[in-house]
Structure 1
Amino acid sequence: MAPWMMGEKFNTVYPHKGSVKALWETKWKFCCDKAIYPFHDGDIKDFEPIFEKLIKENINDASSEAYTKAFLPIAENLEKQADALHQDGKRDAASDLYRRAAVVLRISRFPYVSPASRPETSLKRVAFERQKKVYLKATALWQPVLKEVVIPHEQGLSHEGQEISLYLRLPEEASASHPVPVVLLMTGLDGYRPDNSQRTHEIIARGWGVVIVEIPGTADSPADPADPESPDRLWTSVLNWMKTQPEMDMSHVAAWGLSAGGFYAIRASVIHRHRLVGSVAHGPGSHHFLNKEWLSRVNDHEYPFTITDPWAEKYGYSSTEEFIENAQKKFSLVETGVMDNPNCRLLLLNGVDDGVVPIEDCHVLFNHGGPKEGRFFEGLVHMGYPHSLPVAYQWLESVLSPNQPELKN
């Protein structure tokens, strides 16, 4: 196709590529110090000794057990400290340390946990199970609490998982006599249920509830990753369950898909347009991100590690080569005709210089189906952080609480 909108950056190998030392010194140390993705909720004091060890021992393969093992002692120590504080009645301090331990475990299992993985054979699955456990220790001390709920996947096919594990957080005032609007948060390739603390705080502060669900092919999702229609069944099961919860105002439900989840937020805006008042696709792929030319260079861009391999498994392919050859025809929301149908209100957000999914994947959608809304940020990369977040909240306020004063995030 014609030159990509990110220009010469498309052909550039980004400076953090090649080693953990380069990643830490040119990219992640800054992110960790500022507690921004993927270190949100974290503390640099926890990570400096870990990366010193990784660099010293020349451990560069994030998929290796050696990489994951380097994080586990720090996480275990933080959890023990938090347990002691909790026993002493210091709830806030304990919650903070539990949360920090969960972030260490998040980076240890980065960038991907397959639903097919098992603790007996995958140390990243072990780390993820520990992350969930310690994170729920933290959220049990919040006010209001965030909890795990396991619901039936009543729309699932016989070969799919029969249960959906989700996280639920509702404001204290939510009740049958006072149902609240709800955000259905669709997670990403590497960010899962325990990775959205600040978002839930912002959502609760606006008087809304939040339901967090993992997307097909990741973490604990029961949906068939190889079936393009499995997300439709997944969200139907979730929305049907939500309808049975009297504290939720089902006339005011909005989806918010994050990164890889943005793909599903776009699809849901069409398939579930009658059940959603709006959908935010934040950093979404839709069509061009599965283009062979794009996939030939995406591993050189801003994603910290190789992304095509986890993408291939996430979409149900047995090899990366098969994924690159066939995925666009099978999953593209444009090529399959999904986007030629009407949609509910749909907001597209991203950075123009996104090197994970091209900004063209937002632009192409304006030529298909119903009207779309968009805000794209010059000079910013994947997700358009930090400028995209205030726009997302302001837009959600317009569809979920249109008569309430705007809240600064």
Structure 2
Amino acid sequence: MTFAGRYWIQKRIEEENHQPHARLGVLWETRWRALVCISRFTLCVVSHRDIVGNQSMQAQKRIYPFMFGRVEDFEPIFEKIKDMERPHDWGEYASAFLDTAARLTSTAQEEENNGNLQRASEYYLRASAVYRIARFPIPRHPTQSQAWELGKAVCIKGLSLRPNPVAEVRIPFVHAMAGEGSDIPAYHLVPIPAHQGASVPLVIIFSGLDGLRTELAVWMEGWREIGVATLVVEIPGTGDCPVNAKDPKAPDRLYSSLFEWIGTQHTIDQNRIAVWGFSTGAYYAIRVAHTHHGKLAGVVALGGGCHHMFDETWLRRCDWMEYPFDCAHALAWKWGYGHNLEEFIQEGQDRFSLLKDGTLDSSSCAKLLLVNGMEDEIFPIDDYFLALQHGPPKEVRLVPGRLHMGEPESFGICLKWLHQVLGIADADVKRQLQALTETPVFYN
């Protein structure tokens, strides 16, 4: 529900503030440049609201969307494209990043050939950060698709050169329909006890609209350190997810295939499996909590939606709010509508609403935690109010005064809850969050 037909952030919806979106140079100077904040010891990213409030940039650590990145890599690029305005030429936009990414990749290869694997890993990952922003928020041009292909190649290369290497696995998509892919690409990391024959808990991470397995991989090492395996998978319509994005039932076939594969993994404790969905991935987390409740010890839906996210009023406004690019257009592309935003606006809610399809009123649901910032301008917080009024009881934690996903406080909330659900005693949340922050070591 919305309150008397008004959203929680109705006043913000009615405002006309296009400043952060006017030109790419404005976005870089007012928001993104501060997100690539590097000191000698720490790569830290801070929330936009903390930047505006002139709080200490070392105080609130975030890393999105510039994880693995260096400001020196991006500054010259944004200087070249600073005057680009909407509607963007996505080919021209993406092309501006390719030379820098190629140079970093070449340096990484040289370091690898010389046996300097730590340096090589860092340069591969720096290259992946540049390719990421080139294809951001979702590939809509062949050059952006090229950036995605090159970016995921250097990302897994960098991750595989670490002391605890991340592996890419191909999970059979046994419930695929005609025209869909045959496997589900995922990143997988298991802790030492699993290599020694023990079974360990598993956290399945559902990535979002623009943060894919190449980005959400930043969470894997922190979970490994406390003895938990991770599996990072992409949601329909993004990355390499093999399903028909326009099919509302496709996620059910996707996750049935996923859980069948997990059931064959003797290193995984089948009674301690959780899902953590990020942003658009939280929509799918809510769905899987209902459709596959028997497989899950718990589910966290961080920053998602379920019904009002498809409202025409919301979709016509969200292009000009918190999201740095054209949010509604990117969502239309993700849900299989390509450039046809109007068709998505007219059909999306009837096709994908978890209220209209009966999901929220299912008789069974896994233990489910809903978390978000109350001022979210990407997906309306009203969707979580709605979810609480349907189906089995759920848990909720809303973060006052915070935007999308309720960062940075929300991360600690989610981690503590997952530790409890998975029976992990004495885990250090602060240390786990520190594992997110990559420390640039090499400055040449």
Q: Give TM class, smaller chain.
A: over 0.9
* Amino acid paired to 1:31: L
The equivalent position to 2:138 in structure 1, one of 112, 127, 130, is: 112
Q: Residue in 2 aligned with 1:358?
A: 380
Give the TM-score normalised by the residue count of structure 2: 0.87
Quote the offset at 1:390 in angstroms. Answer: 0.8
Deviation at 1:243, TM superposition (A): 1.1
**Partner residue of 1:20 out of 21, 24, 38:** 24
Q: Residue 404 of structure 1: CA displacement?
A: 4.4
- Choose which of 376, 389, 395 in structure 2 pairs with 1:367: 389
Give yes or no for contact 1:72–1:105 (8 Å, CA) kept in 2. Answer: yes
Cα distance, 1:169–1:99 mapped onto 2, change above 3 Å = same
Cα distance in 2 between the residues matched to 1:278 and 1:245 = 19
Structure 1: gaps of 5 or more residues: 115-120
Whether 2:323 is the aligned partner of 1:303: answer yes
**1:62 offset after TM fit, Å?**
4.5
Q: Supply the distance in 2 between the matched residues of 1:229 and 1:108 (Cα, whole angstroms).
A: 31
Paired residue type of 1:46: D
Q: 1:198, CA displacement in angstroms?
A: 2.4
1:115-153 Cα distance to aligned partner (Å, 9 max, x none): xxxxxx711111111011101111111122111111210
- Aligned with 2:127: secondary structure? helix
After superposition, residues 383-394 of structure 1 pair within 5 angstroms as 383-394=405-416
For structure 2, list consecutive stretches of 5 or more residues without a partner in the other structure: 38-43, 46-62, 434-444
Residue 335 (str. 1) matches residue 335 (str. 2): no
Give the Cα separation in 1 of the matches to 2:71 and 2:87. Answer: 21
**1:45 alignment partner AA:** E
Question: Which residue in the other structure is 2:178 paired with?
Answer: 158
Match of 1:87 among 110, 113, 123: 113
Q: Give 1:320's match in structure 2, choosing from 331, 334, 341.
A: 341
CA distance in 1, matches of 2:387, 2:360: 7
Describe the SS at the equivalent of 1:237.
helix
Change (3 A) 1:262 1:122: same
Provide the C-alpha distance between the structure 2 equivalents of 1:277 and 1:157, rounded to a whole number of angstroms. 29
Gap change, CA 1:73 and 1:175, over 3 Å in 2:
same
CA deviation vs aligned residue, 1:332-389 (integer Å, no higher than 9, x gap):
1112111111211111111111100001111111101111111111111111111111
Equivalent-residue separation in structure 2 for 1:61 and 1:71 (angstroms):
18
- For the 8 Å contact 1:41–1:197, the answer to whether it is kept is no
- How do 1:36-51 residues align onto structure 2 when only pairs under 5 Å count? 36-51=63-78
Query: Which deviates more, 201-210 or 314-323?
Result: 314-323
Deviation at 1:324, TM superposition (A): 0.5
CA distance in 2, matches of 1:246, 1:183: 15
Q: Is the 8 A contact 1:354 1:380 kept in 2?
A: yes
Distance 1:310 1:407 in 2: 33
Query: What letter corresponds to residue 174 of structure 2 in structure 1?
Result: E
The one-letter code of the counterpart of 1:311 is L
Does the CA-based 8 Å contact 1:352-1:377 persist in structure 2?
yes
List aligned pairs for 1:76-155, cutoff 5 A: 76-113=102-139, 122-155=142-175
1:219-234 equivalence runs, <5 A: 219-234=239-254
Q: Look up the equivalent residue of 2:313 and give its one-letter code.
A: E
SS at match of 2:19: coil
Q: Aligned equivalents of 2:68 and 2:108: distance in 1?
A: 15
> Secondary structure of 1:196's match?
helix
2:64 alignment partner, SS class: coil
Give SS of 1:375's match.
strand
How many pairs align?
A: 402
Which range is displaced more, 149-158 or 167-176? 167-176
Any conservation in 1 of the 2:226–2:427 contact (CA below 8 Å)?
no
Cα pair 1:96 1:138 within 8 Å, conserved: yes
In the TM superposition, what whole-angstrom CA distance separates every residue of 1:194-242 from its partner, at most 9, and x where no partner exists?
1123211221122111111111111211111111110011011111111
| 1:185–1:257 contact (8 Å) kept in structure 2 | yes
Counterpart residue identity of residue 21, structure 2: K
Partner of 2:49: none
Aligned to 1:52: 79
TM-score, normalization: structure 1?
Answer: 0.94
Q: 1:30 aligns with which of 28, 34, 39?
A: 34
Q: Give the aligned CA root-mean-square deviation in angstroms.
A: 1.7
Taking the aligned partners of 1:407 and 1:47, their CA distance within structure 2 comes to: 31
Please state how far the C-alpha of 1:40 moved relative to its aligned partner. 2.0
Q: Is the 8 A contact 1:61 1:67 kept in 2?
A: no
Deviations 1:48-85 (A, max 9, x none): 011011126x4665552111111111111111112222
Q: SS of the residue aligned with 1:70? A: helix
Aligned to 1:65, what secondary structure does the other structure show? helix
Matched residues in 2 for 1:219 and 1:179: separation?
30
Opposite residue 360 of structure 2, the aligned amino acid is M
Which residue number in structure 1 is paired with residue 209 of structure 2? 189
Task: Find the aligned partners of 1:395 and 1:227 in 2 and give their Cα distance.
Answer: 32
Supply the distance in 2 between the matched residues of 1:131 and 1:363 (Cα, whole angstroms): 38
Instruction: Give the aligned residue type for 1:262.
Output: A
Rounded Cα–Cα distance in structure 2 between residues aligned with 1:401 and 1:407 = 14
CA contact (8 A) 1:288 1:294 kept: yes
